[in-house]
Structure 1
């Protein structure tokens, strides 16, 4: 697998959540994976310009991530990304986009990340990440990411989001995104039903975790942590159940700010989750082939399920 690091937050390298990827690397992220038998290539991704501008730098970073992910896929590697900002997942989605595979997204986060510039009063681009992924905003800049194609909203499952305004909740509920707040995500039957519905619409999935989806009683993942989050075991159960339904072909762990961590508890939670993600992930099928789509359609047909 290729373990990528994008150590940037709002265009700045190594500060706030941008310090998370390197902290996880120093704590032995790649060494742990190698000890479990994985062949790991490491790569730090940088924007193309030294000029820091939050919007421009974020999209430059995504352009570089997309290229690196496409190269990893061509080599038969699973791309796993440690990122400062959630919007870095756009580059992973773009790098793996293939018309032969219906791409899905399971996004775990304390927040909706579904803002658009017209609605957002906070001015934080990373709060737009999921909205960009489904084509709701920043379309011209998103098109500069090699391979980027907006996902249908019905291909997205948002899990654990709870820190939303009433307006944000209303927008999500009107959208085609399936949203499971923490209480619903904790119920295995509800979670499995949502994943089964997603598996009828997509062939492969990218697994994205903003680490603040976890309850801050473990340790705050960052300055945006909110109460009533999922436990580490609950997050790992979401991963396990996702992998039971769909091929997990890539993953992102994002938004870890070491300054808020308590006794490295969130760091260790992230590393354990990375181990599990590496264990269930599978390389993408060869580009342009039907791969899982044909296999899953045949399996569903023989079992009576609708593909």
Structure 2
């Protein structure tokens, strides 16, 4: 298979800092060699530094999303399967846009379903899934090339157990499919029944 590994090494608007060092660590751990050993044609691309010199978290975070969307779209045009390695969850909005995904499987300890109105800490990554579902930051996502919010009925949330009270209340009002990793595959049919055709898989290594 032709694979494109896209590195977005950002954490909270900072390049190659904090969890933004994770993508390089995964590559240094031998990912490319292992994939090549299994017969895959692999190229690796870093989106580079984006945003303005002030490194404002929100502005830079969405600039990263735009860069990722462009790289993912280019990989698909080249008939390559895109794999995005990132240091923060918000980048999923860019990956979904570039992949023209109409559904999402979110495997994460956290729900990431806060909004600016509910977040106690203002942590942007804690709003990542809510952003991808079109529940917040709509003016910012509208600038991501190809972004279309995922309908909550075509979202599967897997293994989320660290949820804020407001996230729990929101989940009660949304048709999001809840699953554990042991029965996630059994729930894929629910996504298909909701009209899912092109799913994005988000895996947080926490």
| TM superposition score normalised by structure 1 | 0.64
Runs of 4+ that moved beyond 4 A? none
Alpha-carbon distance, 1:151 to partner: 0.8
Partner of 1:88 in structure 2? 91
Separation (CA, whole Å) in 2 of partners of 1:194 and 1:21: 30
Contact kept, 8 Å, 1:172 with 1:179, in 2: the verdict is: no
Q: List aligned pairs for 1:1-307, cutoff 5 A.
A: 1-46=3-48, 47-97=50-100, 103-180=102-179, 182=180, 185-186=181-182, 188=183, 191-200=184-193, 201-212=195-206
Separation (CA, whole Å) in 1 of partners of 2:73 and 2:165: 38
Task: Report the 3-state secondary structure (helix = DSSP H, G, I; strand = E; otherwise coil) of the residue aligned with 1:206.
Answer: strand
Unaligned runs of 5+ in 1: 213-307
Contact kept, 8 Å, 2:118 with 2:166, in 1: the verdict is: no
Q: Which protein is bigger by CA-based radius of gyration?
A: 1
Separation (CA, whole Å) in 2 of partners of 1:34 and 1:72: 18
| TM superposition score normalised by structure 2 | 0.93
Higher strand share: 2
Task: Report the 3-state secondary structure (helix = DSSP H, G, I; strand = E; otherwise coil) of the residue aligned with 1:49.
Answer: coil
Unaligned runs of 5+ in 2: none
Output the aligned Cα RMSD.
Answer: 1.3
Separation (CA, whole Å) in 1 of partners of 2:170 and 2:16: 33
Cα deviations by residue, 1:44-103 (Å, 9 ceiling, x for unpaired): 013243330100000000111111111100000000011000111111111121xxxx72
